[in-house]
Structure 1
Amino acid sequence: MAALKITCFLDETQMTSLTDFISRQLFGCTKDEIEDIDTCFDTMNIRLCVEYSIGLETIELRQAEILDSDWNLIDADSAVLRSRLRRMIENYNYTQKQSAAYC
């Protein structure tokens, strides 16, 4: 079955830029230092909002949204972002679990 084509507001380069930004924040700190993200990207004309749920051993994605300049939700882009972040967070949790096993 062929992949479903999704038309997004952001192009692939911009989406990669957002996920790289989130990755740097996520992997650049300890679990206790992780903060939610609410940032405007004027060059892309969007607002990025990411909320985490932080447990004792793992973090989970509570919400991830991309809003346009009028603060309206951009559904397709938000869905793509959530999909990418879920994999990123799974990787983060796995890495943290492996690090704890070696301590």
Structure 2
Amino acid sequence: MTAEQQADSNIELGKLARERELGPVLDNISVPARYVVASGASFGSRGDEQERIRAGLDAVTARNPNIKVSAKVASNHGAILRKDFRAIAESAREVAALNHGPALKT
């Protein structure tokens, strides 16, 4: 991607991540879903931009009991899979246990 394409992509993603856009989609989730939320600063973000987006999850989880935040981790979204894979695995086990009883430990 060119720098301009990357910038346009980030702007569009920011718009789609807003609660007013994403909220109706999340409200219709009818199966157990878990979030592992990053808390670190995002590449290219300014100020508390990412925290404002993340705060929208509170309203969604209040409206839809199928959605819960399993963990909030120190990584940013670019490093969460590498640094916080244990939290992600635990959230997957949490959902699996809802459907199949206790999950296997690995």
Which category describes the TM-score, using the shorter chain as reference length? 0.3 to 0.5
For the pair shown, which has the larger CA radius of gyration, 1 or 2?
Answer: 2
Structure-2-length-normalised TM-score = 0.33
Question: Higher RCO, 1 or 2 (CA under 8 Å, sep at least 6)?
Answer: 2
Between structures 1 and 2, the one with greater helix share: 2
Between structures 1 and 2, the one with greater strand share: 1
